[in-house]
A and B are shown apart, each in its own frame.
Chain A
Amino acid sequence: MIDEEFKMAVKSCSECGATLPDSIFDSPEPVHCENCGTRFQVKVFPAFFSGPGQVDYGASIQTDDEASCFYHPEKIAVVACESCGRFLCSLCEIDMSGRKICPNCLEIGRNQERIEGLITERTLHDQIALSIALLPLFFIFVTFITAPMAIYFSIRHWRSPSSILPRTKMRFILAIIVASLQMAVWAAVFFPQFLKLTKHL
């Protein structure tokens, strides 16, 4: 049982296996292992001692006038999904930050990133745009192509979902400014040549 292992883990030093002093549980500062000298700080919470929760499999339908679960027709419905309205038994009911939803809506919400609590990855488009604008500066001639790309990428992904952490649009703005400057330099280089060419023609 993993709980037993956890119980043992907080009482013994993970370096040498010796028993840790009891003061480890109420000390605000790290406590030394008396055997190997490694310092530990352990904080245990009440959930550590609570056993595995009871699973409610839902009650079976007894009479014909009872509403049944959409996914389990033999079980009594206890709630309606707040997203799609389907009736759900207590086994299918999922509590998502206070909202009762069904497994299907959970899956859709996860795939379409509608539920913020289920987002596990985000691409940082602003960072990519800034890289497209800045990194090619080391190989100057490439900027002729990458500068318009950086501007296009910034505009294209201006409203795309970004980090769920606080983040400004500063990188996009910086990418657009740097890429515009690069394009201005290229224009300054090519424009006199263009004028010369038109004079000849």
Chain B
Amino acid sequence: MAYIRLPGKKKGFYRKCTLWLGEDHILAVDSNYYTENYKRFYFKDFQGLIVRETKRFSKLRLYTSISVLLALALLLFAIFNQHIGSAVFSGIALAGLTISLGIHLKRGPTCVCHLMMPLAVHELPSICRLKYARQVLERILPLVQRVQGPISADEIKSKLEGAVPSSHINLPTSGNKPRPGNLKEYSCFFHKLLFGTLLLDAAATLAQFYSIHWTIKTFNLIAGSAVFILSIATLVRQSGRSVPRMIKGLSWSVLAMLCASNIIGGMIGFFIGIQKSNVPQTDHLSVMLALDPSNEPLIATLFTYYIIASIFLGVWGLAATMMHASSAKKKVPVGSGESVPGAAEGAGL
């Protein structure tokens, strides 16, 4: 069977969701790098399509714009201080961030799309922008109408008149994501520890601008290692537990930031070690450890980015975990005797 690709794609670190058009159905493909999983939705079973705009677009626009401004400020700072290495580094970061902002703005507002089928509602993750939703609707509408026949807006309104709108519908919302059952409750202890240690690490890194005393270096090394170990422990801990997606994303971001800064830092340190030709090759590690950010502009730029990102992630993560922990405490335990609004009506009493 020949499939034609429909607009829209959701791409993650190891997962990609796409939508394909078949003869009598659409095919939702969820693929990681090595396998593809398929779900078929036949036109004869289509009951409805609900597209809801989300706030992700404006949030991402805000964060990326702030990052662009920060990178621009660092670039100007480097130019005024004639640090060519830092200027190149900040220029690359600025270019990357500006391009990603441009792409984000061009793709337009974000949304979630739910397809109503008999007995179940399915999310179509590939339709994550309103633009794609409109394009997909334009493509599939005539095909569904060919199978099911047309229906006018007046007919829909008259047939829906009997239904009473209610707020306890089981459709997922931005604050009420569908979760697989049997998720364990979790107090976010490891997350708090991770974000707290990240802030300590940022402070230790900042202290290196003023002194490279061995105690500060050692503390920074221990804090950095602790953040790395804690980020792994947090990722293990959060899988299969009731943790908001935002906090999960922040944990992944910490690990990504650590990996990126270590790789870039290692490369910079290595090249500086090579430049210092009087140093024997075996002493590169000690040269890297003794690097002073106040004398090495590239290291200073990297440290600045690391401190800003650490404070940003640490404060945001701590605030989010605190809020999650307090909201979890406020939840009424089952069997506490308090009545749940609407429970009596639901039971037909």
Interface residues of A (CB under 8 A from B): 2, 4-12, 14-20, 22, 25-26, 28, 30, 38-49, 52, 116-117, 119-124, 127-128, 131, 163-166
Contact = CB atoms under 8 A, between A and B. Distances in A.
B36 A10 contact: no
Contacts of B157: 22, 25
B11 to A, nearest CB: 15
Contacts of B119: 2
A9 B111 CA distance: 17
Contacts of A14: 50, 52, 169, 171-173
Residue of A2, A46, A52 with highest tally of chain B CB at under 10 A: A46
Contact of B34 (A45, A46, A119, A127): A127
Interface size bracket, B side: 35 or more
A200 to B, nearest CB: 32
Nearest to B47: A48
Nearest to A53: B118
B38 A124 contact: no
Contact of B50 (A5, A40, A128): A40
B148 A45 contact: yes
B20 interface: yes
Given A7-B163, A131-B33, A164 B3 contact: yes
B119 to A, nearest CB: 6
A45 B52 contact: no
Contacts of A17: 165-169
A10 B48 contact: yes
Main secondary structure of the interface of B (DSSP, over half): mixed
Interface in B132-154: 133-134, 137, 141, 144, 148-153
Nearest to B53: A39
Given A8-B165, A17-B167, A47 B160 contact: no
B169 A9 contact: yes
Contacts of B35: 121-124
Contact of B163 (A8, A41, A46): A8
A40 B37 contact: no
Given A45-B144, A117-B40, A121-B38, A10 B50 contact: yes
A127 B33 contact: yes
Q: What are the 9 tightest A-B residue pairs by CB atom distance, in nearest-first order?
A: A17-B167, A26-B153, A12-B165, A7-B163, A39-B53, A48-B47, A41-B51, A25-B153, A9-B169
Nearest to A7: B163
